[in-house]
Amino acid sequence: MLIVTKQLRRSKGEGINGLQLAAGLIWSGQFSGQVRIQGKALVGREEWAGFSQKHSMFTAIHKHYTLDDWKLFAANHPECLQHVAVSSGSGKNDLEKMSSILEAVPQVKFICLDVANGYSEHFVEFVKLVRAKFPEHTIMVGLVGPSPDGEAEKSFAMGWGAGGSVCTTRTKTGVGYPQLSAVIECADSAHGLKGHIISDGGCTCPGDVAKAFGAGADFVMLGGMFSGHTECAGEVIERNGQKLKLFYGMSSETAMKKHSGGVAEYRASEGKTVEVPYKGDVENTILDILGGLRSTCTYVGAAKLKELSRRATFIRVTQQHNTVFS
């Protein structure tokens, strides 16, 4: 799919520098869109928070961060706390840990409830419990896909999709949904209920981020695109003269061995471990993404990112870009 160019509605003297990409972290149903850094152990870390805060991006700190880790992070980076979320699973111990963190770091007002199947009855009840306990916090939940009865869209911010770069759910289970279609089909109903959409997975380049916003997403979650940078955890590996960094999904065998003692006999790993070419400082990647978004807005005549979904028209293609020098 590609976005179709449209006639510009902007004044002659106003160029790409005047585009508004974010309106601030105010959840009033008027959110203009943000890039969200995924809560993986190698990406969703405090080292990213400074960059996300600088560019009004958002980081979900991974759910294996301890209470002591959070206290240290809050002491060292108090300016970043409005741009981060506490991530949690849906178990009893998870609720206790999350409550301890939010009590110790009250400046954090965002909660990310991260499970594989956001439609389970247990998880729905857990979300209700968290909402009752934290009525003033913004809650992000996922993962889900389009629901026939629209019930899921009544939540606060939903993560849609199952197709991340190190996710193997589609191949292990046969379960999934086309990412662009999921966002397009669910955005209107979610927004009608004053909820928000997080497009989770599928982005490989800045153009994909633009398509997600054009489809109606309020947030776009990125993991793989931010892997391999200096700010990621782990040492740089050199192999055959090439610099690499390790990147793995949180349902991979690597992650489960590290955080859960291994893969349980009754389940399968739904993530993979890869070695990513070393990319240097993440600042360059962030600027490339934001620059691409600004350019997209000029092509369709959107004065700010919030207008992109109203100005975007998609066309189906057999080839998205010229591959002569790929």
Binding site residue list for GMP: 200-202, 223-224, 249-251, 267-271
Which entry of 80, 112, 169, 254 is annotated as an active-site residue?
A: 169
> Which string of DSSP letters, residue by residue, matches 69-98?
HHHHHHHH-GGGGGGEEEEE-SSHHHHHHH
Token readout for 287 is 């600027």
DSSP H helical ranges for 84-221: 92-104, 121-133, 169-173, 179-192, 206-215
Answer whether 270's CB lies under 8 Å from 172's CB: yes
175-178: long-range contacts, CB 8 A cutoff, minimum separation 24: 176/145, 177/145, 177/146
Rg for the chain, CA atoms, rounded: 19
Q: Binding site, residues?
A: 63, 114-116, 161, 164, 167, 170, 200-202, 223-224, 249-251, 266-271, 295-298
Q: Binding site for NADP(+), residues?
A: 63, 114-116, 250, 266-267, 295-298
Distances in Å between the alpha carbon of 128 and those of 12, 114, 122, 140, 156? Answer: 50, 14, 10, 12, 11
Contacts of 306 (CB under 8 A, 6+ apart): 20, 23, 30, 31, 32, 33
Give helix 282-300 / helix 46-54 axis angle, nearest 10°: 40
Contacts of 321 (CB under 8 A, 6+ apart): none
Our answer to whether residue 203 is catalytic in this structure is no
* Cα 258–Cα 144–Cα 165 angle in degrees, nearest 5: 50
Residue 209: HSE in the Cβ half-sphere, 13 Å Cα cutoff:
31
Answer whether 147's CB lies under 8 Å from 179's CB: no
Which entry of 80, 112, 167, 232 is annotated as an active-site residue?
A: 167
Our answer to whether residue 232 is catalytic in this structure is no
For residue 246, cis peptide bond before it (omega within 30 degrees of 0)? no
* Cα 46–Cα 286–Cα 273 angle in degrees, nearest 5: 65
Q: Binding site for K(+), residues?
A: 161, 164, 167, 170
Strands 34-37 and 219-222: parallel
- Active site members: 167, 169
